[in-house]
Amino acid sequence: MVVRSFPRLRPLPITIAWSAGDDLLWYSVENGHHRIRVNDCLRRASTGVLQGGMAHELCHVDADLRLGPYPRQLASGWYARSHWRRMHEERATEVHVIALGYGPQLLTFVRYARKLGYSFTREHGLLYPEIRRAVQGRQPVQ
């Protein structure tokens, strides 16, 4: 996935690890090292489910690389403090996931997460019907 869709990430120190927590997946940068944590409840998930979630998180890493250190720090602060900013970034991330061709996997991820009891709002990204329509090519995502 990294080689095909995220070649800029190849030289980066990225750790992907199982972890406990409230979120299904989350991304952080610690001392220049990028970390993606995957909730233990996804251990039995299919490859498609994991690819959908991982594509989303890798899009966050890729977006961070487009910023310099200071703008990245500002963006992180805005993300933490602003509901609107968080919603905008998450939705833009999922539009990018779909543009890269991982829309079906993202749809599978959301479906699986819903079965686990997670719900998604605009703050988390695109809504399920928006992803489905985009994947089916019926309506462009905005």
39 three-state secondary structure: strand
Say which range, 11-25, 95-109, 126-140, has the weakest mean pLDDT: 126-140
The identity of residue 49, as a single letter, is V
Dihedrals φ, ψ of 23, to 5°? -85, 150
pLDDT at 85 over 70: yes
> How far apart are alpha carbons 80 and 13 in whole angstroms?
24
Report the mean per-residue pLDDT for the chain: 90
pLDDT digits (tens, 9 = 90+) for 27-48: 988 888 899 999 999 999 999 9
pLDDT of residue 108: 97
Which tokens sit at 117?
């009891």
The answer to whether residues 84 and 121 touch, using CB atoms and an 8 Å cutoff, is no
The answer to whether residues 107 and 131 touch, using CB atoms and an 8 Å cutoff, is yes
pLDDT of residue 112: 97
**Percent of residues, the chain, with pLDDT higher than 90:** 65
What stretch of H or E contains 129? helix 128-135
Which tokens sit at 76?
């992180």
Say which range, 46-50, 55-59, 70-74, 117-121, has the weakest mean pLDDT: 70-74
The answer to whether residues 134 and 94 touch, using CB atoms and an 8 Å cutoff, is no
For residues 44-68, give the mean pLDDT.
93
> How far apart are alpha carbons 125 and 53 in whole angstroms?
12
